[in-house]
Structure 1
Amino acid sequence: MNRTGTGRRAALGIGLAALAGALSGCSDGPAPGPPLRLATGPEGGPYNAFGKALARAVTASGRGVRLEPVTTAASVDNLRLLREGSVELALAMADVAEDAALGREPFTAPLTTLTALARVYVNYTHLLVPADGPVHDVGALAGRPVAAGAAGSGVQVVAGRILRDPGRAGGAEAPRERALGLAESVTALREGSVDALFWAGGVPTPALAALARERPLRFLSLDDRVGPLRERHGPVYSAVTLPAGVYGLTEPVGTVGVGNYLLARRDVPDGAVGELLRVVFDRWRELMGEVTAGARLEPRFAISTGRVPLHPGAVAHYRSVYD
Structure 2
Amino acid sequence: MTGPTRRTLIATGAAALALPGLARAQGSTQLAIATGTTGGVYYPLGGALANILSRNIPGMSATVEVTGGSIANNQLLGAGRVGLIFSQVDASVDAVRGEDRFRGRPVKVRAIAVLYTNRMQVVTTAASGIRTMADLKGKRVSTGAPGSATEIMAFRLIEGAGLDREKDFRARERLSPAESTNAIKDGKLDAYFFVSGVPTSAVTDLGASPGVQLRLIDHAEYVPKITEKHGPVYFPEVIPAGTYPGQTTDNQQMSVANILAVLDTMPDAMVRQILETTWANRADLATVHAEGRNFTLDKQKTAAAGVPWHPAAEAFWKAQGATLA
**Fold match (TM-score > 0.5):** yes
* Shift in Å, 1:264: 0.2
Residues 320 and 97 of structure 1, relative CA distance in 2, 3 Å threshold: same
Separation of aligned partners in 2, 1:85 and 1:133: 44
Over residues 22-61 of structure 1, what are the superposed CA-to-partner deviations in whole Å (9 max), with x where a residue is unaligned?
Answer: 9xxxxxxxx9641222111233432121111001112232
Q: Quick one: which of 153, 159, 179 aligns to 1:158?
A: 153
1:9 aligned to 2:14?
yes
Residue 220 of structure 2 is matched in structure 1 by 223
1:177 aligned to 2:176?
no
SS at 1:231 equivalent: helix
Greater displacement, 288-297 / 274-283: 288-297
Residue 84 of structure 1 is matched in structure 2 by 79
Residue 256 of structure 2 is matched in structure 1 by 258
Residue 308 of structure 1 is matched in structure 2 by 307
Matching residue's letter, 2:309: L
Separation of aligned partners in 2, 1:108 and 1:102: 8
Separation of aligned partners in 1, 2:83 and 2:295: 22
Residue 297 of structure 1 is matched in structure 2 by 295
* Shift in Å, 1:166: 6.9
Residues 293 and 39 of structure 1, relative CA distance in 2, 3 Å threshold: closer
Matching residue's letter, 1:107: F
Over residues 52-99 of structure 1, what are the superposed CA-to-partner deviations in whole Å (9 max), with x where a residue is unaligned?
Answer: 100111223245654222222211111111111111111111111111
1:50 aligned to 2:45?
yes
Residues 233 and 70 of structure 1, relative CA distance in 2, 3 Å threshold: same
Unpaired runs of at least 5, structure 1 = 23-30
Residue 201 of structure 2 is matched in structure 1 by 206
Separation of aligned partners in 1, 2:282 and 2:130: 39
Separation of aligned partners in 2, 1:78 and 1:223: 27
Over residues 133-152 of structure 1, what are the superposed CA-to-partner deviations in whole Å (9 max), with x where a residue is unaligned?
Answer: 22111111113210111111
Separation of aligned partners in 2, 1:15 and 1:164: 36
Separation of aligned partners in 1, 2:301 and 2:43: 23
Separation of aligned partners in 2, 1:227 and 1:32: 52
Unpaired runs of at least 5, structure 2 = none
Decide whether the 8 Å contact of 1:73 with 1:151 is kept in 2: yes
- Cα RMSD between the aligned structures? 2.8
Residue 101 of structure 2 is matched in structure 1 by 106
Residue 237 of structure 1 is matched in structure 2 by 234
Decide whether the 8 Å contact of 1:102 with 1:109 is kept in 2: no
* TM-score normalised by the chain length of structure 1: 0.87
Greater displacement, 2-11 / 65-74: 2-11
Greater displacement, 100-109 / 53-62: 53-62
Residues 232 and 292 of structure 1, relative CA distance in 2, 3 Å threshold: farther
Matching residue's letter, 1:321: Q
Following superposition of structure 1 onto structure 2, how do residues 136-151 of structure 1 map, counting pairs within 5 Å? 136-151=131-146
Greater displacement, 150-159 / 293-302: 293-302
Decide whether the 8 Å contact of 1:285 with 1:296 is kept in 2: no
Over residues 88-144 of structure 1, what are the superposed CA-to-partner deviations in whole Å (9 max), with x where a residue is unaligned?
Answer: 111111111111111110112353421111111111111121212221111111132
SS at 1:132 equivalent: helix
Decide whether the 8 Å contact of 2:139 with 2:190 is kept in 1: yes
* Shift in Å, 1:8: 4.2
